[in-house]
């Protein structure tokens, strides 16, 4: 991988498996949106960036310091996803799924943002999740700028913990408001340490997350994978349960994909939701 500064953007080249659409549209994050030219804008760790591809290079707005302190880690750019993808092609189905998922990378997201976002995601669709999160950020986050355009940072757990259910009414997120508030208070009161959980075995971390009211296996596993970067986690939603039953059978053992079952999960999810669905329609 190489990166250099060009006219206010960092050009990143020499990285395999780096497809912006597949990364941002695979359901792991909810704060990035593309315009008609395929340029994505979004906010992570309080930094607003514009990201696009030209040929084999990806351009990320900002300085070299921004890239090295935020985006290098955020996009997990030091990990060899091409090598991992090859190792996950364990049968004919996974050969196809992994090839169609080439370019997906697991983002290393802010832990609190991931927890709050996947609490909101319960029994919800992606457009509505994005809308709720956008209102949350515009109402309680602070403004960040890029070339005169403003967006809003994700509000801290401490900020949300200082509110009550009435304050969260503009989100129109129903019963999830109580879950969001409970999680924020647990973090603000030092009853839940997400950084500490990230250092524990996945089963122990999962149990810690499930102590929160409204967090079950699926939400906990999404937080482990997308927030705590535990790449051997295999979240199961309705789509994934169907895929596992159809393509792997009742004796499926996710350990065949270890230590990267979470990346395998993303390949399967992308393939079943996008490729197989289109073929069947």
Q: What is the pLDDT of residues 190-214, one digit of tens each?
A: 999 999 999 999 999 999 999 999 9
- pLDDT for the residue numbered 147: 82
Q: Fold identical between 2-78 and 111-226?
A: no
Instruction: Give yes or no for residue 275 having a pLDDT over 80.
Output: no
Q: What are phi and psi of 57, to 5 degrees?
A: -105, 150
Q: Are the C-beta atoms of residues 41 and 146 closer than 8 Å to each other?
A: yes
Beta-carbon-side half-sphere exposure of residue 80 (alpha carbons within 13 Å)? 4
Residue 239 pLDDT > 90, yes or no? no
Residue 280, pLDDT above cutoff 70: no
By the 10 Å C-beta count (0-12 exposed, 13-18 middle, 19+ buried), 66 is classed as middle
pLDDT at 238: 86
Tell me the per-residue pLDDT of 129-180, one tens digit each, with 9 for 90 and over. 999 999 999 999 999 988 888 999 999 999 999 999 999 999 999 999 999 9
pLDDT exceeds 80 at position 254? yes
pLDDT for 276 beyond 70: no
Q: Assign 229 to helix, strand or coil.
A: coil
Residues 30-36: what's their mean pLDDT? 96
Give the number of other CB atoms < 10 A from CB of residue 38. Answer: 12
Q: How far apart are CA 267 and CA 244, in angstroms?
A: 12
Q: Which CATH class is domain 111-226?
A: mainly alpha
Q: Where are the domains of the chain?
A: 2-78, 111-226
Q: What is the pLDDT of residues 103-121, one digit of tens each?
A: 999 999 999 999 999 999 9
Q: What is the dihedral of CA 73, 75, 78, 81, to 10 degrees?
A: 150
CATH fold for domain 2-78: TATA-Binding Protein (3.30.310)
Burial 114-123, CB ≥16 within 10 A → b, else e: bbbbbbbbbe
CA distance 34 to 225: 24
Q: Retrieve residue 71's tokens.
A: 């985006």
User: Mean pLDDT across the stretch 53-81?
Assistant: 97
d(CA 4, CA 13) in angstroms, rounded, equals: 9
Q: What is the pLDDT of residue 281?
A: 42
Instruction: Return mean pLDDT, the chain.
Output: 95
pTM: 0.94
**H or E element in which residue 6 lies:** strand 2-6
């Amino acid at each position: 991988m190489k990166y250099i500064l060009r006219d206010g953007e960092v050009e990143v080249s020499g990285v395999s498996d780096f497809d912006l659409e597949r990364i941002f549209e695979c359901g792991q994050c909810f704060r990035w949106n593309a315009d008609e030219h395929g340029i994505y804008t979004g906010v992570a760790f309080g930094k607003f960036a514009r990201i696009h591809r030209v040929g084999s290079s990806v351009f990320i707005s900002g300085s070299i310091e921004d890239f090295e302190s935020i985006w290098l880690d955020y996009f997990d750019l030091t990990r060899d996803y091409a090598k991992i993808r090859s190792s996950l092609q364990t049968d004919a189905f996974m050969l196809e799924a992994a090839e169609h998922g080439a370019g997906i990378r697991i983002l290393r997201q802010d832990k609190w943002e991931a927890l709050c976002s996947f609490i909101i995601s319960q029994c919800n669709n992606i457009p509505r999740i994005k809308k709720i999160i956008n209102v949350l950020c515009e109402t309680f986050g602070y403004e960040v700028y890029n070339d005169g355009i403003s967006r809003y940072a994700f509000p801290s757990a401490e900020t949300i913990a200082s509110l009550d259910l009435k304050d969260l009414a503009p989100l129109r997120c129903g019963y999830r408001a109580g879950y969001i508030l409970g999680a924020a208070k647990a973090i603000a009161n030092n009853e839940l340490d997400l950084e500490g959980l990230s250092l524990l075995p996945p089963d122990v971390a999962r149990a810690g997350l499930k102590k929160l009211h409204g967090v079950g296996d699926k939400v906990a596993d999404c937080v482990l994978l997308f927030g705590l970067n535990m790449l051997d986690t295999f979240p199961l939603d309705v789509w994934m349960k169907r895929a596992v039953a159809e393509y792997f059978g009742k004796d499926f053992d996710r350990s065949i994909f270890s230590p990267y079952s979470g990346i395998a999960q993303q390949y399967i999810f992308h393939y079943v939701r996008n490729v197989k669905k289109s073929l069947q329609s």
